[in-house]
Amino acid sequence: MKKTSIITIISTLVLFGIIVSSCTPCGTGAIYFKTQAISASTVRITGIDTSGCCDRYINEGFIPDSKEIRYDSVLIKVQNEIEIVFNEMPINYQFGISSAKACSPAEDFDVFKEVNITSDQPYSSVYPAGESLIDMISVSRDARILDSKINNLMINSSNRDSQYYFKFNAAPDSTRIHTITIEYVFTDGRVLKSVINGLKIGN
């Protein structure tokens, strides 16, 4: 009787091992957070909130209808429209047994290859019309004052955030009305753009 019980236990363990070992490892793309579009707007910095763990810019909505705003008082807010895509979970068949994955679904995000911010007008002698402005623009995820360079925070990183704030860190040579284009380029080749018209930036 004991011998039969031992054989039954061993058989059960072997069968369980076959099922688990036949599972395909969790790959990328089980759940895909796909960036469908981006939408840029402007906000005006009105102060600094020091009450939390990190200092943040206090800001309010600002419609750039050719009203002049100082370069260091404007934030460009880019909202990311992200769609969750559930891919089909594969089921493998080995040893005549149907086996599902024995692991949690993987999460896959768009990855930034490039971020470009340009103007149709010259910003300064260093940044003529059409020249990338990212070297003098900082970025944060939630209007924190602890800003980072775009290349440091975003490039080769996953787009996991619902929004980004961009801030000019250099004064323009003169006051001009700019059309600002924000462009995201992802590693899969997709390009998303958003445009802000009539932004009059002064020094």
Query: Of 197, 129, 132, 139, which Cα lies nearest the Cα of 164?
Result: 139
21 part of a folded domain: no
Q: What does the pLDDT average to over 108-127?
A: 95
Residue 144's domain comprises 31-88+105-202
94 part of a folded domain: no
27-73 pLDDT, tens digit per residue, is: 444 788 889 999 999 999 999 888 888 888 888 888 877 789 999 99
12 part of a folded domain: no
H, E, C per residue of 34-70:
EEEEEEEEEEEEEEEECCCCCCEEEEEECCCCCCEEE
Rounded to two decimals, what is the model's pTM?
Answer: 0.74
77 part of a folded domain: yes
CATH number for the domain including 166? Answer: 2.60.40
Buried-exposed string 175-196: b where 16+ CB fall within 10 A, e elsewhere? ebebebbbbbbbeeeeebebeb
Number of domains in the chain: 1
149-166 pLDDT, tens digit per residue, is: 898 889 999 998 889 999
